[in-house]
Amino acid sequence: MISKHKSYLHAHLAASVLLLSATAAGTALAAPCTGPGAPTTTETKCKTAVVIPGQPLRSYDISWVNPDRAEYYLADRSNKGIDIIDTKKLTFKRRIEGTPTGAHFVGVVLNGTGTAVDNDHSGPDGVVSHGRWLYAGDGDSTLKVIDLDAPDATAIKQTVSTGGNARLDEMILTTDGNLLLGVNNADTPVAFATLFRANGDSATTHVSIFTKIVIDPTILPPGLPIEQPAWDPITKRFYVSVPIIANNPPGCTVSGPTTCSGGLLVIDPATLPPVMIHTMGAYDPVTNTGVVPLNACGPNGATVGVHDNLLLGCTTANLPSGKTTLVINAKTKNYANIGNIVGSDEVWFNAGDFRYYTASNRDPGGAKLGVIDASSVLIEKIPQSSGSHSVAADSKRNLIFVPESAPALAPVGGDNTTVGQGICGGTNGCIGVYIHDVKSEDHGHEGDDDKH
């Protein structure tokens, strides 16, 4: 307990020193939640911003919330670690960076010409948690296993290589925390997923690889990615977004201006053989496994909501002609297209207010936080920093967390608008915190569990 207390104090002292230094240097530090990212007319209100200490937040990836621990986790490439925020106090808590023995995150990696971030090899990337265990994918194709109950310097307890040549990206756990599915979205010659035996509620780590999963190349040609997975405890299946698949519709093109829609890979872990590589093909309705062709959607994100529905974060980056977001039922595969919201990366269902939240950084007219209700109706869109492609919610407190990029700086990118600066109240980047007050609302959704 003493070491934890010291780490907590040190993190807060570091944040205070950073803020004082920024003020002394003339960096504008104003009240957060101003400008177009904090409209007064929306149901979802900007509550505050949590400043991230260290290097300005320009490169980051996926986020996650564990409401039982009241913690938010962000894969922060700019600072080569996992940022942890207290979702009760709304303060920066600490950062998991590495160990004395050399286990650490790769951080920002630039492309061969040094002109932009190489997303395929930067890290950390995907992040997910269960109990004391936090799992993070890295740019060197490894899984870092982190004990949240351990001191910062020794928190990374295990590093497991997937054997790939690019980042281990987004991931999801089963409800009991015993199985983890992680995706190497940018690997060559083919993208693949890895099913790990995870730690569950164990006090010690014993993570290992069970099998790797690839998609039949006639469905997913070499060079095409797979993206965010979700776990559905009702059907007991993993559902994985596949941005582009061949022949969907027949005669479409997968390169150049892409005209092919994506798919949804359905995986039943109970039927996977313990082989080195398992190949999955077209959808089989009898087993409820395989690749389901989607309509007018090139998805990145995936999340499970009410009534066994999945919301998929469709984006024009995958399908330029796609103008909608898709909700599809896990059992029947019936679907509905939601108009006027597109360009999403990470998406999240908040069981606290029965709403979906989309990090739509490629929405026409600029990045938005999309808010969609349980009946698949778009409620509102709120402007965000141009790099805001990550979102997560605390279902116990109805707080929505959106990373806001620091102002752009070549070659590492950042916000090319002033929206993030207004939300943050400064230029170092932050986590924008939004709230939806549901005290006076009756949602009428009894019996639905928090899928996260």
Q: Cα–chain-centroid distance for residue 375? A: 23
pLDDT in tens, 368-381: 999 999 999 999 99
How confident is the model over 285-334, as pLDDT tens digits? 999 999 999 999 999 999 999 999 999 999 999 999 999 999 999 999 99
Classify residue 418 by burial, with Cβ atoms within 10 Å: 0-12, 13-18, 19+.
middle
Give the separation between CA 183 and CA 205, rounded to whole angstroms: 21
> Confidence class of residue 5 from pLDDT cuts 50, 70 and 90?
very low
- Beta-bridged to residue 359, according to DSSP, are 369
The per-residue pLDDT for 380 is: 98
pLDDT tier for residue 441 given thresholds of 50, 70 and 90: low
CA distances from 237 to 54, 273, 304, 412 (A): 40, 15, 11, 37
Q: In this model, does residue 46 exceed pLDDT 80?
A: yes
* Residue 112, Ramachandran bin (φ over 0: left; ψ between -120 and 50: alpha; else beta): alpha
pLDDT score of 100? 75
User: Model-level pTM?
Assistant: 0.91
Question: What's the rounded mean pLDDT across residues 1-29?
Answer: 41
Domains of the chain: residue spans and CATH = 60-405 (2.130.10.10)
Which among 153, 155, 152 has a CA at the least distance from the CA of 144?
155
- Six-digit token string for 409: 């700086």
Q: How far is CA 118 from CA 220, 224, 225, in A?
A: 23, 17, 16
Does residue 226 contact residue 241 with C-beta atoms inside 8 Å? yes
Kindly state the average pLDDT of the residues 255-276.
Answer: 93
Could you give the 3-state DSSP secondary structure of residue 158? strand
* DSSP letters spanning 275-306: -SEEEE-B-BTTTTBEEEE-SS--EEEEEE-G
More confident: 443 or 221? 221
In the prediction, which pLDDT does 451 show?
A: 42
Band the pLDDT of 6: cuts 50, 70, 90. Answer: very low
**Integer Cα distance of 104 and 125 in angstroms:** 13
CA distance linking residue 104 with residue 242, whole number of Å = 30
Q: Is the pLDDT of residue 44 over 90?
A: yes
For the residues 191-205, what does the mean pLDDT come to? 98
Radius of gyration of the chain (CA): 20
d(CA 300, CA 191): 14
| Residue 273 pLDDT level (bands cut at 50, 70, 90) | confident
pLDDT for 101 equals 76
Cα distance between residue 232 and residue 213, in whole Å: 18
- Tokens, residue 273: 């053989």
Query: Does 16 have pLDDT greater than 70?
Result: no
pLDDT in tens, 141-180: 999 999 999 999 999 999 999 999 999 999 999 999 999 9
Per-position DSSP letters for 408-441, written without gaps between them: P-TTS--BSSSHHHHHHTSSS-EEEEEEE--TT-
Q: What are the phi and psi torsion angles at 120 (to 5°)?
A: -70, -15
CA–CA dist 75, 390 (Å, integer):
10
Phi, psi of 308, deg, nearest 5:
60, 30
Tokens linked to 248: 């969907």
Cβ neighbourhood burial of 317 (10 Å; 0-12, 13-18, 19+): middle
Q: Identify the helix (H) or strand (E) that includes residue 92.
A: strand 91-96
Task: Say what the pLDDT of residue 4 is.
Answer: 39
DSSP single-letter state for residue 111: -
Backbone angles phi, psi at 152, to 5 degrees: -55, -45
Q: How many angstroms separate the CA atoms of 178 and 209, rounded?
A: 12
Residue 417: its pLDDT value, please? Answer: 98
Residue 407 has pLDDT above 80, yes or no: yes
The pLDDT value given to residue 450: 41
Percent of the chain, pLDDT > 70?
A: 90
Measure CA of the first residue to CA of the last residue in the chain; give whole Å: 28
**CB of 344 closer than 8 Å to CB of 300:** yes
Give the whole-angstrom CA distance, residue 58 versus residue 413: 6
**Looking at residue 103, what is its pLDDT?**
85
* Rounded-to-10 torsion of CA 7, 9, 15, 19: -160
Query: What one-letter code names the amino acid at 316?
Result: T
Mean pLDDT of the chain: 91
